[in-house]
Structure 1
Amino acid sequence: MFTQELQSKIDQVWLAFHSGGLSNPLSVIEQITFLLFIKQLDELQNRAEQQAIITGNTSNYIYTEENQDLRWSNFKNVSPEEMYKLFQKENGVFDFMKNFGGKSTAFSKFMKNANFMIPTSRLLAQVVEMLDKIDMDDKDTKGDVYEYMLGKIASAGSNGQFRTPRHIIKMMVEMMKPTPEDTICDPSSGSCGFLVGAAEYLQTNYKEELLKPGVQNHYLNEMFTGMEFDPTMIRIGAMNLILHGIENPQLKDVDSLSQANADFEEKVSLILANPPFKGSLDKDAVDEKVIALVDSKKTELLFLGLMLKGLKVGGRCAVIIPDGVLFGASKAHVKIRKEIVENQALEAVISMPSGVFKPYAGVSTAILVFTKTNAGGTENVWFYDMKADGFSLDDKRAPVKENDITDIITRFHNIENETDRARTDQSFFVPKEEIANNAYDLSINKYKEVFYEQKVYAKPADIITSIQQLDKERNDLMNYLMNLI
């Protein structure tokens, strides 16, 4: 459980990093993530040792007799100075972590340029002590800690990139219901929150299925694909996935819109994403097949083209977009919307309140849900007007009772029952023909009807009479009190 006490300790460590000369929030998160990963390796070793008592199989051991001093459970008890030396020395704790899994793995590739940056032994000991209190088997606590740390990236949103709240990720995953047969991708993966959310859904809903050798191999090595060009974020993402049991995720350190990613074509069956908003790229640097779908420099439009290209026929997509994509009047805006409506199967448009991404920004967003068919299939598009997500829509984002998320998931999975809903309701259908006649405008306000209840007020003369009557009653009461005295 993520308590106020735990939050306070994280804040103290954060201040300690800053005082120690490490002030870049992303670097701080990376160093803490390294330590969380090292702690998890020790937990995995403990499980392997317990299994070996029963089976006698020691092949899953991570640590040997020679490097027991590199285990979290051992070095956490030594002096700060000795602990610091264990991290700094050649083939010490940090080098062991970097080389986990062998030099040929993708993880080792991304960790190649990772550096141990904690400046003092005192700070290292302080962070280790704080992280030691976190139950690594409690996914919610671990996720909340990670979420809270990511929330401290004050510069987030400066280039249109916003950390997606975990409850929004969970909602989108539950709407799409990934299966063990899926290949799941986030082409702007960042810390891999969507991929982790999908993994947790599968672990909860397909526990027995995932034990089958073929399914397990697919799950561990082939199912999850992420693309990210920021080297720090891809390291954080790789560790985040491994911390959640994905041993060999398919992560690509590439600008997903570039020619270097041209082979991403009909590769995956499910995309979950929140791509960057507001960016602008040189067309010459963008994959020409994406440009053919979206003749634009705007990243929010280019990513839609990339997703259409990367999906297999029959593949599904749930993607967060800024509201401007829904109603923009430029040729590129209309072209990509027409492509999704006419040539693919657009299923749903969920309008989210602008406060969802606070405190980073008050940008209004929506979720598009569509299936790649290359042969049309859009008939009626389901619109939902989300008004609350369980948190206040100001910078504090405090928990509140109002929450539409459960209703959204339930209605989406029973969408056949939505046909009788009126345009004044929170959710309703709009026929494709009507959307086409409105230049493929997908903003909910274009179609939602507002019911205005007529209010009848008393005449001014009647109001004055009422006031006079009240005055008379007040005077009568005052005279009565005076007589009592």
Structure 2
Amino acid sequence: MLTGEIRNKVDKIWTDIWAGGISNPLTVIEQLTYLMFIRSLDEKELEAESIEALGGEAAKIFPQDEEGQSMRWSKFKNKDSRIIFDIVGTKVFPFIKAMNGDNTTAFSRYMQDAIFLIPTPQVLQKIITGLDELYEHDIKDLDMQGDLYEYMLGKLATAGQNGQFRTPKHIRDMMVQLVAPTPEDTICDPACGTAGFLVSAAEYVRGRYEAEMTSGQWEHFAGKMFSGFDTDRTMLRLSAMNLMLHSITTPHIDYVDSVSKQNEITSEYEVILANPPFTGTVDTESIHDNLKVVCDTKKTELLFVALFLRMLRKGGRCACIVPDGVLFGSTKAHKTLRKELVEGHQLQAVISMPSGVFKPYAGVSTAILIFTKTGAGGTDKVWFYDMKADGFSLDDKRNAIEANDIPDIVARFHDLDAEAGRKATEQSFLVDKSAIEANDYDLSINRYKEIVYEKVEYDAPAVIMARLDVLSDNIASKMAELRGLMGE
């Protein structure tokens, strides 16, 4: 966990960049990401030199001549600010943009169109000094590097033009706990953004299985276990860096419009975790034909759920966030998709979340769908949960509070047999598939939740009128008294 002192140091770096004239949070974190990557290359070079000093062999990253060595963080960080600015802008940046070759990481693959935007030598020196102090004195291990980057990503408090926005970490962690990935699984987020779901899944697997994982499983973990797709190359760079800081050096991070014809992936993954864009529509001609079979629509929130079904292997699990409209929308596409989930596969849970969960990005009401791909039905009962609190206030400030339903949600989901006796008046309950079918596959919790109304006894009208007469007389008396005091 990051201490308040570390957060203050990050905020100071952020303020220095803003003062230099860069006010877009996405641009700020992108520039910080480049510098963090540059520093990480020098760290790897130092490791290689240590191996060589012990008689081993290790591949070098930087050219071994004087100019090549001058591009290393440890060589230029203490020089004059104008020299640093010249080295980074004219040497290091072109070098890392051209790295995509033998030195491939997922991050370096998306560096070709990166632009160095630090405005002045003074601002660059402040950033380098601030980052170096963080790494040398505060960031002790890889987990803290991940936490540091996560804190930076948390400053991206804006929604994209297609309605995509960053999912809060505690919500992502809850969803990961619900689907419970294992070291053998392959995990995908087809709308990955900054790769938060993949990072949460990686943290879960490491936290639960680290002591017993084999070398083969660790190799799988570092690469093929995690896949993410997005249509924003900036987001791909951020996600690749995020994964790299969590020991995932060669994930399958790719520039793909997931619902288009360029994505042919079918029956590939055991786990899908996603918060797809809500408000976007796509060109009808570009939509993959096999998605139209499930639901013929241009709405991205419906197409992505159909896509998850296609990309999962049989027995694969999905936890995804959808806007409430998916649960009760009356169009043919909405109904067809819900029927497919209930009749064609195993829909396990619908968790209704309060509208403040995504503030300050948006106040949209959302739910989490949890289902397993079977291709042959399997839905018997669906578990509904009415989440009222997530541990944070539901206003724009999102301050920490005590009320938190998340531990209860996770515990109850993993013991659904114990939910059988709960009534529809409670916070969570099971609904028979037949009832959902009878309601035209409506998945809104309000359709099944029963509200108990308390009987309120009111006084007779004559009694209320008499009480009003007394109040009126009192007011008239006080008014007369005030006029007397004013000498009227």
TM-score by length of 2: 0.87
Change over 3 Å in CA distance of 1:209–1:102 after alignment to 2: farther
- AA aligned to 1:86 is I
Instruction: Please say if residues 157 and 360 of structure 2, whose CA atoms lie closer than 8 Å, have aligned partners that are also in contact.
Output: no
Instruction: Please say if residues 275 and 320 of structure 1, whose CA atoms lie closer than 8 Å, have aligned partners that are also in contact.
Output: yes
Q: Does 1:35 align with 2:38?
A: no
Q: Which residue of structure 1 aligns with residue 56 of structure 2?
A: 57
Instruction: Please say if residues 40 and 136 of structure 1, whose CA atoms lie closer than 8 Å, have aligned partners that are also in contact.
Output: no
Q: Does 1:188 align with 2:191?
A: yes
2:180 pairs with 177, 182, 199, which one?
A: 177
Report the CA distance between 1:461 and its aligned residue: 6.1
Which of 214-223 and 310-319 deviates more? 214-223
Query: Which aligned pairs between 1:80-119 and structure 2 lie closer than 5 A?
Result: 80-90=81-91, 92=92, 95-96=95-96, 99=99, 102=102, 106-119=106-119
Q: Which residue of structure 1 aligns with residue 482 of structure 2?
A: none
Instruction: Please say if residues 227 and 254 of structure 1, whose CA atoms lie closer than 8 Å, have aligned partners that are also in contact.
Output: yes
- AA aligned to 2:353 is M
Instruction: Please say if residues 341 and 432 of structure 1, whose CA atoms lie closer than 8 Å, have aligned partners that are also in contact.
Output: yes
**Percent identity of equivalent pairs:** 51
Which of 411-420 and 342-351 deviates more? 411-420
Q: Name the SS for the 1:321 alignment partner.
A: strand
- AA aligned to 2:387 is M
Q: Name the SS for the 1:433 alignment partner.
A: helix
Which of 214-223 and 242-251 deviates more? 214-223
Report the CA distance between 1:47 and its aligned residue: 5.7
TM-score by length of 1: 0.87
Q: Name the SS for the 2:125 alignment partner.
A: helix
Report the CA distance between 1:130 and its aligned residue: 2.1
CA distance in 2, matches of 1:406, 1:157: 30
Instruction: Please say if residues 16 and 127 of structure 2, whose CA atoms lie closer than 8 Å, have aligned partners that are also in contact.
Output: no
Q: Which residue of structure 2 aligns with residue 449 of structure 1?
A: 450
Q: Which residue of structure 1 aligns with residue 268 of structure 2?
A: 267
Query: Which aligned pairs between 1:159-174 and structure 2 lie closer than 5 A?
Result: 159-174=162-177
Instruction: Please say if residues 283 and 291 of structure 1, whose CA atoms lie closer than 8 Å, have aligned partners that are also in contact.
Output: no
Instruction: Please say if residues 33 and 241 of structure 2, whose CA atoms lie closer than 8 Å, have aligned partners that are also in contact.
Output: yes
Change over 3 Å in CA distance of 1:2–1:442 after alignment to 2: same
CA distance in 1, matches of 2:87, 2:301: 46
Q: Does 1:150 align with 2:149?
A: no
Which of 169-178 and 200-209 deviates more? 200-209
Instruction: Please say if residues 106 and 249 of structure 2, whose CA atoms lie closer than 8 Å, have aligned partners that are also in contact.
Output: no
Instruction: Please say if residues 98 and 114 of structure 1, whose CA atoms lie closer than 8 Å, have aligned partners that are also in contact.
Output: no
2:208 pairs with 205, 208, 223, which one?
A: 205
Consecutive unaligned residues of structure 2, counting only runs of 5 or more, are 472-488
Report the CA distance between 1:183 and its aligned residue: 0.8
Report the CA distance between 1:378 and its aligned residue: 0.3
Report the CA distance between 1:293 and its aligned residue: 1.1
Deviation track 1:358-393 (CA, whole Å, cap 9, x = no partner) reads 001100000000000000000000111111111100
Report the CA distance between 1:302 and its aligned residue: 0.5
CA distance in 2, matches of 1:228, 1:441: 30
Instruction: Please say if residues 103 and 109 of structure 1, whose CA atoms lie closer than 8 Å, have aligned partners that are also in contact.
Output: no
Change over 3 Å in CA distance of 1:232–1:104 after alignment to 2: same
Q: Which residue of structure 1 aligns with residue 303 of structure 2?
A: 302
Change over 3 Å in CA distance of 1:121–1:361 after alignment to 2: same
Which of 127-136 and 398-407 deviates more? 127-136
Which of 109-118 and 160-169 deviates more? 109-118
C-alpha RMSD of the superposition:
2.8
Instruction: Please say if residues 96 and 111 of structure 2, whose CA atoms lie closer than 8 Å, have aligned partners that are also in contact.
Output: no
Q: Which residue of structure 2 aligns with residue 431 of structure 1?
A: 432
Query: Which aligned pairs between 1:303-318 and structure 2 lie closer than 5 A?
Result: 303-318=304-319
Figure out how many residues of one structure are paired with residues of the other and give that number: 463
- AA aligned to 2:130 is M
CA distance in 1, matches of 2:323, 2:447: 16
Q: Name the SS for the 1:452 alignment partner.
A: coil
Q: Which residue of structure 2 aligns with residue 474 of structure 1?
A: none
CA distance in 1, matches of 2:446, 2:13: 46
CA distance in 1, matches of 2:59, 2:420: 54
Report the CA distance between 1:416 and its aligned residue: 1.8
Q: Does 1:353 align with 2:345?
A: no
Deviation track 1:247-269 (CA, whole Å, cap 9, x = no partner) reads 111112011111111x2111111
Q: Name the SS for the 2:266 alignment partner.
A: coil
